[in-house]
Amino acid sequence: MSKASELREMSADQLTFSLKEAQKDLFELRFQSATEKLDAPSRLKQYRREIARIKTILREKELAESSGESEA
């Protein structure tokens, strides 16, 4: 799990890759939860928050780019 400050240092491509990986891991955890083989249920919450954190930072970067283009 990454901190927001670490994520902000990453490029948009790296963030997109991290997002896909986190979504894949969350899917696997949900599958384990459905089959009652999940060891740590708290990891579901951690991955949901990680995904939200990545999406937020991607949106911040998107807004920064669009505001930079409108000013120029």
Nearest to 22 by CA among 45, 50, 53: 50
What pLDDT score was predicted for residue 71?
66
Q: How far is CA 64 from CA 5, 10, 51, 61, in A?
A: 16, 15, 20, 5
As a whole number, mean pLDDT of residues 8-33 equals 94
Quote the CA–CA distance of 30 and 17 in Å, as a whole number: 20
Global pTM value: 0.85
Instruction: Spell out the domain ranges in the chain.
Output: 4-64
Contact 26, 51 (CB under 8 A): yes
**33-71: per-residue pLDDT in tens?**
898 888 888 999 999 999 999 999 999 999 998 888 776
Distances from the Cα of 11 to the Cα of 17, 34, 43, 53, 61, angstroms: 10, 34, 25, 14, 9
CATH topology of domain 4-64: Helix Hairpins (1.10.287)
